[in-house]
Structure 1
Amino acid sequence: MERLPLSVNKSNLLRLKDELFFARDGLELLDEKKEALMAHINTLAGKAERVRAKMNAMLEEAYSHLREAILVDGRLACERAALASKMGEEVRVREKSFMGVALPIVRIDLPRFVPSYGFQGTGTAMDAVAKTIQGGMEIIAELAEIEVGLFRLIAEIKKTIKRINALENIYIPVYESTIKHMEESLEEKEREFLFQMKRQKGRRREVEHGSI
């Protein structure tokens, strides 16, 4: 096992033990963060699926009205009306923090529906297209909020898992190996020191007995 290139002494041993304690504590916090991120991702993923279904239903309704408008008013009239269409919406975006991740909060204000194109060459089917799309803007804003939030949460959980793996497989094992090596080396030095002390003590006794 790889070890840190440090001198073997008690000062370094104590410092490494402190750093290992903080690394293990950090690993525990990262595990908790990972679980919280996963739970929030699962919640948003379920919500996104429901909102996408609503958006698809809205688009299906809008296309149904559009097909009717093309049949009744003609493609050219529909294209002209589309170019003149203006919703007049106001989008406001702010952010909230979740586990250090900035998640967007999107709000959209829509004015009362009034067709922005002229009455000539258009009919109720075209009005239904525009009204359906305007009503669906809130759904689109909600889905955008969720999709961006999911993208950021997934990016954050990838970084968190990478840090967890680094701590579990590299940082902590290297520290444990270095600490074990230092403890064994210091114990060996202590045993050698005690052995030398006993030898010196024995020699002194031999000298004392010889002098007597």
Structure 2
Amino acid sequence: MAVKRVNPNRMELLRLKDQLKVAQRGHKLMKDKRDELMRQFLELAREVADLRIKMENLLHKADAEMVLARASMGAAVVETALMSDAPPLEMIIGDENTMGVRSPTFKMPAAEKRQDQAADLPYALTSASGELDQAVDALYQVFPVMMELAEQEHKALLMAAEIERTRRRVNSLEYVMIPDLQDTIRSITMKMEESERESQTRLMKVKDLILEADIKKRRSQSEERRAQHL
């Protein structure tokens, strides 16, 4: 630990004690933030794992439905049907703040409010079959989960980075700044106590000298009076 080079006086001691209190409060707040971030990160990691499994299952289902549609209608017919004009999917990007961690959010209203109407399907019905309807419907089910997974995975990465930054700050306060302040305060206190002892010693010596001088003076005066009576 390092002792700061400061003037060992009472004003400096009070300033350092105030600084130590602020550092200790900051350490507690940062430690509480780190612990809460860790708790939320672990919950988020479990949520991400569940979402990934859900997305993979939906993708497998959509792939199976598309294979069935291709087998029923023919690959060329399916490709032609899916290449027809369709309104683009809208994505709404926002953001949220979790314990000081800002992360983006993704929403696809068209996919989330999926409707079973022909006008909403991205192909013409003239050559389509029920199998293709089911395949497209399965893909629409994947989109919201895929967006949520991307959102939560990115949030987890940002949260992990914030946890690391907070951990470094906690360690810096706990193992560097606070011990340095405590050592400096102890050093100043010891120097001030030593200086006070030296001052008291000097004061006692001065008092002894004054007392000794007073005794000598009185003794001299007594001898003078005695000599006058002879």
Alpha-carbon distance in structure 1 between the residues aligned to 2:34 and 2:207: 60
Aligned mate of 1:129, from 108, 128, 135: 135
2:189 aligned residue: 183
| Cα 1:187/1:76, change in 2 over 3 Å | farther
| Cα 1:12/1:83, change in 2 over 3 Å | farther
Aligned positions of 1:65-144 closer than 5 A: 65-73=65-73, 75=75, 78=78, 84=84, 86=86, 88-110=88-110, 112=115, 114-118=120-124, 123-144=129-150
- Where has structure 1 moved over 6 Å in runs of 4 or more? none
**Root mean square deviation of aligned Cα:** 2.4
2:223 aligned residue: none
What is the identity, as a one-letter code, of the residue corresponding to 2:108?
I
Q: Please give the secondary structure, in 2, of the residue aligned with 1:90.
A: coil
1:194 aligned residue: 200
| Cα 1:180/1:8, change in 2 over 3 Å | same
Please state if 1:206 is matched with 2:219: no
What is the identity, as a one-letter code, of the residue corresponding to 2:6?
L
2:43 aligned residue: 43
Please state if 1:165 is matched with 2:162: no
Alpha-carbon distance in structure 2 between the residues aligned to 1:12 and 1:58: 67
| Cα 1:106/1:64, change in 2 over 3 Å | same
TM (norm. structure 2) is 0.81
Alpha-carbon distance in structure 2 between the residues aligned to 1:84 and 1:7: 82
Deviates more, 1:192-201 or 1:39-48: 39-48
Alpha-carbon distance in structure 2 between the residues aligned to 1:87 and 1:46: 35
Structure label with greater radius of gyration: 2
Alpha-carbon distance in structure 2 between the residues aligned to 1:169 and 1:198: 43
How many residue pairs end up in the alignment?
A: 212
1:28 aligned residue: 28
| Cα 1:77/1:189, change in 2 over 3 Å | farther
Please state if 1:148 is matched with 2:151: no
Alignment gaps of 5+ in structure 2: 219-230
Alpha-carbon distance in structure 2 between the residues aligned to 1:133 and 1:163: 45
What is the identity, as a one-letter code, of the residue corresponding to 1:112?
Q
- Post-superposition offset of 1:27: 0.7
Alignment gaps of 5+ in structure 1: none
Q: Is 2:82–2:122's contact at 8 Å kept on the other side of the alignment?
A: no
| Cα 1:85/1:147, change in 2 over 3 Å | farther
Alpha-carbon distance in structure 1 between the residues aligned to 2:90 and 2:147: 11
What is the identity, as a one-letter code, of the residue corresponding to 1:92?
I
- Post-superposition offset of 1:108: 2.2
Percent identity between matched residues is 27
Deviates more, 1:135-144 or 1:168-177: 135-144
